[in-house]
């Protein structure tokens, strides 16, 4: 699963690396994470750290969907304005399919991070039964 583009990525834990390298990540989320990592590298000259992918227990959370549709990226190592600019660039470039946003910057409380998500209606090209999927 590794690609040269993953030079932009770091992983908080080996577990998260294993999750990223599994088949449980929605392909669209994978693309958006890589795109976000490129934008962060342009803004800061620093790689992106994935801090959370797969979770269980909350059916409303994109982290709990399979394939996983949610990813958290470290942002608490950036100035607030830099993190906000990063989020704004992602939001502008990647429309969400529906009423939510592809990116949320959680900038209150502990564990500030940038949350990325794709819609449950986002087609998975690995499947033949989703809109836009391979027939």
- Specify the residue, 7 or 13, whose C-beta has the smaller distance to Zn ion: 13
Angle 124-90-119 from CA coordinates, rounded to 5°: 30
CB neighbourhood size of 129 (10 A):
8
In whole angstroms, the minimum distance from the beta carbon of 56 to Zn ion comes to 14
67 binding Zn ion? (CB under 5 A):
no
- 67, two tokens: 């394939």
72 lies in the site for Zn ion, by CB under 5 A? yes
Judged by CB under 5 A, does residue 70 bind Zn ion? yes
- Taking the alpha carbons at both ends of the chain, their separation in whole angstroms is 24
Contact call for residue 19 and Zn ion (CB under 5 A): no
Residue number, 98 or 125, with CB nearest to Zn ion? 98
Cα(19)–Cα(35) distance, rounded to whole angstroms? 19
Our CB check for Zn ion shows the closer of 39 and 68 to be 68
Q: Is the Cβ of residue 115 or residue 124 nearer to Zn ion in the bound state?
A: 115
Among 106, 118, 130, which Cα is nearest to 53's? Answer: 118
Which residues contact Zn ion by CB under 5 A?
70, 72, 115
């Amino acid at each position: 699963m590794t690609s040269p583009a993953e030079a932009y990525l770091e992983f908080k834990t080996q577990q998260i690396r294993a999750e990223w390298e599994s088949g449980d990540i929605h392909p669209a989320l994978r693309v958006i994470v890589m795109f976000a990592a490129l934008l962060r590298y342009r803004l800061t000259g620093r790689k992106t750290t994935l801090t959370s992918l797969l979770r269980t227990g909350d059916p409303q959370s994109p982290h709990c969907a399979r394939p996983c549709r949610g990813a958290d990226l470290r942002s608490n190592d950036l100035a607030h304005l830099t993190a906000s600019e990063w989020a704004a660039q992602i939001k502008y470039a990647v429309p969400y399919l529906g009423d939510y946003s592809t990116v949320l910057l959680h900038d209150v409380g502990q564990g500030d991070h940038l949350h990325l998500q794709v819609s449950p209606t986002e087609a998975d090209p690995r499947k033949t039964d989703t809109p836009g999927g391979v027939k």
